[in-house]
Chains A and B, each alone.
Chain A
């Protein structure tokens, strides 16, 4: 599973306070290349706060987030990288898949322009090449290429989510953050999307941090699981281990609350 002996992302004692209130606290973990880490927990347990911090969108109150950049070795996101460097990482090496595709897509421009945006941001200036790459990516996310010039507003929810994924993966990122990627979709579309995601993650060797409250999603996608409650990690381990033999009372509650079909 580990292609390299060094972690891609390393989080040490991360704490995020909203004034007096705790967002999340004392969180430490390493993410290895090619690994999919699931973060599960109920609403308000600090999953999204953690994700915002480690994806560089919010500076944590305390703690270090180190990323293994392509150029140098481990560098702290907020201490050792400038804002331009951080923003550059966000649109090249990283990807962020939002729960609501409307947050991650540019709704006013066509699917092709959505996919091409990141390419143009890193300096692609050949219309034909951008368009070809966009077509290939539409194909990879199972959208027919005659929808290339259509606006995302004309797409179904599942298609919008797949378009968002294509738009994010087009620059071959190494690290993908996902916030409830299957959130608003019906069950059959969810299953298809998960299948697609699993294939892409394997083919491209992506490292993924995926936040979800859906244990089925976590079981299907992630290698390792972190269970959060009230801003703290209460249990961590291999996915099957955590789900089949939960140790912490909260995890036991969570696992037993799944409806058995």
Chain B
């Protein structure tokens, strides 16, 4: 147990009171029992604005154990504002060990990425979800979308994909790409890039989704079939890049474009910072990270 400097013992463990955590755990149990089904829960006000992960934080708080090791990522990165503040929040209120290593974590709260290195059975992935309803943009009525889920009327989801192809020549949806869970419920995988959709399929880790503003929790239990919707003649495809990561040279990771100056110079880097760093520690190098280049830059400074 780390006695970190941030810890404040005045808080109940993991901020929420015990009754609230029980209520959320009941919702989680129901969500796990019905994969992909959105379970309403009595979401609480959290000390952060909606859109900053209030749903994910409540789910994490409800499942957190003092022995857990927590990792928080924001768009794959450990060191952006959202990730840092949520990590500090739990260090302060729950005194748990935090880490940036994917393999060392037991709970990973994520905003819109799935780590590149494979997850294991003793890990739980918690997603922050802004809009849980995949049918929302086509059917604004909540009563109607609920009925559509109940009766498995999912033709409308393909109307969106059809429209994509007719406008762009291919399925242009790149994030929040709809999936069918366990052959039954169509689910919004939160705005993760569709690059990550195949990682959800038969994943050994438990995946929990929390939407704070919309007050919904849903889940994919370990080893559950997750299919991305598509057409027979326009099958599902993930994004590809022509370049490799400029820092670690990785070929098969999700890359972010980084603008380097106002002349249009740019490079592509892994969005998963932990994956990129550990590859660099192992000696992998990308084009922008050659030893002579680094030395030259250090000398120039």
Residues of A with Cβ closer than 8 Å to B? 83-84, 87, 106, 108-110, 112-113, 116-118, 120-123, 125-128, 130-131, 148-149
What residues of B have a CB within 8 angstroms of the CB of A106 in the complex? Answer: 138, 159
Stretch at the interface among B30-38, B107-115, B226-234, B279-287: B226-234
B163 at the interface (CB under 8 A from A): yes
Residues of B that sit less than 8 Å from A by CB: 138, 151, 153, 155-156, 158-160, 162-163, 165-167, 230-234
Q: Which residues of A contact B230 (CB under 8 A)?
A: 125
Evaluate contact between A117 and B156: CB separation under 8 angstroms: yes
Are B233 and A120 in contact, with the CB atoms below 8 A?
no
The reply to whether A117 and B155 form a contact with Cβ atoms under 8 Å apart is yes
A127 adjacent to B153 (CB under 8 Å): no
Chain B residues whose C-beta falls within 8 Å of the C-beta of A149 in the assembled complex = 166-167
Closest to B166 in A: A149
Question: What 12 additional pairs, Cβ within 8 angstroms, besides A112-B166, A126-B233?
Answer: A83-B151, A87-B151, A109-B138, A109-B162, A113-B162, A113-B166, A117-B156, A118-B155, A120-B162, A125-B231, A126-B232, A148-B166
Q: Which 4 A-B pairs have the closest CB atoms?
A: A121-B155, A120-B158, A120-B155, A127-B231
- Majority secondary structure of chain B interface residues (helix, strand, loop or mixed): helix
Q: In the bound complex, what is the Cα–Cα distance between A188 and B159 (angstroms)? A: 34
CA distance A236 to B173 in the complex (A): 55
A109-B163 in contact given A84-B151, A87-B153, A121-B153 (Cβ < 8 Å): yes
B68 vs chain A, min Cβ distance (A): 42
In the assembled complex, the Cα of A184 lies from the Cα of B34 at a distance in Å of 47
B158 touches A112 (CB 8 A): no
Contact across chains for B159 and A120 when beta carbons are under 8 A apart: yes
Report which residue of A87, A127, A130, A149 has the largest number of chain B beta carbons within 10 angstroms of its beta carbon: A127
Q: Which B residues touch A127, using CB under 8 A?
A: 162, 165, 231-234
Give the CA-CA distance A87 to B152 in the complex, in Å: 11
A113 near B232 (CB under 8 angstroms)?
A: no
